[in-house]
Amino acid sequence: MGTLNLVGWTGSGYRGSALDFPAGGSSVFVPASTDFDITEHLTISLWVNPSAFPVGVHRFLSRANYTFRLIGQEPHFYVKQGGVFTHARANVLVNANEWTHLAAVWDGTGMGDDELLHIYVNGIEVVDYQNQGEVSGSLDSFSAGISLGNNGGEHYEGLMDELAIFNRALSPEQVLTLFTDGLGAGVGADCDNCPAVRDPSQADGDSDDVGDACDNCPDTPNEDQVDTNGDGLGDACTFPPADAHLWLHWKLDESIGRNYKEEVSGLSNAVEIAPVTEGQPGLAPDGGTAFGFTETDPDYSYVDAGTLQSDGTYVAGSDPDYKVLDANWTIAIWFNWASGANTMWGSDWASGDGWSTRINEGQLIHDFGNRVGNSELMPQGGRDYFLAIARRTNDATDLPGTGEVSGDRHVFALYDKAEDTWSYSYGTHSSNIRLQGIEIGTFNANREWVGTLDDPRIYGIVLTQTDLDALVLAPIPGDCDDDDDVDLADYADFEACLYGPGRELDAGCECFDFDNDNDVDLDDFAAFQASFTG
């Protein structure tokens, strides 16, 4: 272990922490070790960020038989043989207040191509030396320690990081790797829980033997690291797993100014609202509001919700370039139905790949381009429901409801909010759906929706029953880690977000802003205490 004199640690290193050498003769001394008595081949590598150049000579590292320092702002490298120092001096300047990687390499006993002293700056050997010494044979041997920083008045002021001394002469390619990739984790490959990423801490918060630095789901054990859709987020912690496959989502939520916004794209200029009643009591558990639809012939009451183009771009209106979901999908919407033969939403239902979801004579129906898919579900007027329709193109055991469905079929899953119950019905056929000119409500005078609609979503996968349950259950206020309680783990996260009024929310702190005033303050603390369950 070394002895620090006026030197401290800072978290502002080039990678992680670094040594901070302030003004006033700060230094580090590391006692003698045979490991330091390198006499055959030598490489010194480090990152430096000088804060000032108060004297003529600024020493990074020195030992009895090798030294690396600046004279002025130019790097100098020295080795001693026969009691005499030979050096290389690079005609390049190291600037103050910026990180620079420096390396010094010498190979004097025939392992390399030459016996010259080499200096590298930011991974590349300098091309202009004022002097480039050459030493053949072994260096003088000493029993001596190593000094960093101040030595005999040769001060260094600034930061120093990733200092390494090798008893071999690194190749130019290896020096470049040090510059680009760093030293590595310092953990043997056989023991490293994240061998592809430099990770000295080896932290593994979920104890699944995959280090947090490369775990695609660091809070949930998932040793297999399965990531079905290749989005970098493991299947084990995607909530719902469908979120990575959520193509379109409209909150229809006036109370927070997002009633004209499509949530996935973030666009607020591609949705057109025909006469609807905004700000109706919300149906979804997000605490927002909903849209009310009435019979307004000839103006019609509907939302022109735009088109998702084939490349995933969301645009206004009915665009001829549209995406088709031709395999597995789920469409979902909250509704409260008044009466009549009404269409909730759809896309050019009479054409190929067109579709619509409606109620006719009290029965839920889904049309696939004029092919009617009746259900056996009969929702009652004046009640709040959540409806999901899912399509699977092969035999499935993971559809919501009763389980296995053979062939290309679809399922209706209907949640009755008042009764907190699910009902299911399986269709006789299924088809693709187009995402073109989507209408929420309808401008068809014979099928206008009369009632309330909220939170329509379109997914590119089949939602499981677990996914659907997550969409209908109201979140527990303050349960920001989604473990169904408000405990000390939530409190630790809350405390990290508690900055008081006037400071905008940090990422991840939105859950603790109970009063939606864009900060986490004592009012939110009182609400958190009231929600605490332990």
User: What pLDDT digit, counting tens, does each position of 100-159 carry?
Assistant: 999 999 987 755 557 899 999 999 999 899 999 999 889 998 989 999 998 878 889 999
CA 465-227-215 angle, to 5 degrees, is 115
Q: Name the pLDDT band for 256 (thresholds 50, 70, 90).
A: very low
What is the identity of the amino acid at 313?
T
Backbone angles phi, psi at 466, to 5 degrees: -60, -40
Please give the average per-residue pLDDT across 342-352, as a whole number. Answer: 79
- For the chain, give the mean pLDDT: 82
Please give the average per-residue pLDDT across 312-326, as a whole number. Answer: 87
Please give the average per-residue pLDDT across 28-51, as a whole number. Answer: 92
The SS3 call for residue 495 is: helix
Q: For residue 235, what is the DSSP state?
A: G
Q: How far apart are the first and last CA of the chain?
A: 44
- Residue 240 scores a pLDDT above 50: no
Q: What is the pLDDT of residues 367-406, one digit of tens each?
A: 876 666 677 788 988 999 999 998 765 554 455 554 445 5
Strand partners, 403: none
- Contact (Cβ atoms closer than 8 angstroms) between residue 81 and residue 137: yes
- State residue 466's pLDDT score: 81
Please give the average per-residue pLDDT across 471-496, as a whole number. Answer: 80
- Residue 241 scores a pLDDT above 50: no
Q: Which of 116-130, 201-215, 413-427 has the highest mean pLDDT?
A: 116-130
- State residue 465's pLDDT score: 83
Q: Name the pLDDT band for 492 (thresholds 50, 70, 90).
A: confident
- State residue 313's pLDDT score: 87
Rounded CA Rg of the chain: 34
Tokens of 305: 């919700």
Backbone angles phi, psi at 271, to 5 degrees: -115, 130
- State residue 335's pLDDT score: 94
**Mind listing the domains of the chain with CATH numbers?**
3-181 (2.60.120.200), 245-472 (2.60.120.200), 488-531 (no CATH)
Q: For residue 445, what is the DSSP state?
A: T
138-to-73, 109, 267, 336 alpha-carbon distances in Å: 29, 7, 69, 88
Residue, of 161 and 462, whose pLDDT is higher: 161
CA 238-219-531 angle, to 5 degrees, is 90
Strand stretches in 348-383, DSSP E: 355-360, 363-368, 371-374
- Residue 348 scores a pLDDT above 70: yes
CA distance 185 to 165: 16
- State residue 371's pLDDT score: 63
Q: Which of 25-39, 188-202, 442-456, 463-477 has the highest mean pLDDT?
A: 25-39
- Residue 260 scores a pLDDT above 70: no
- Residue 331 scores a pLDDT above 80: yes
298 preceded by cis ω (within 30°)?
yes
- State residue 406's pLDDT score: 54
- Residue 471 scores a pLDDT above 50: yes
For the sheet with 66-71, list strands across it.
3-5, 27-30, 146-149, 57-63, 66-71, 74-81, 84-90, 129-132
353-to-175, 180, 309, 350 alpha-carbon distances in Å: 58, 51, 14, 9
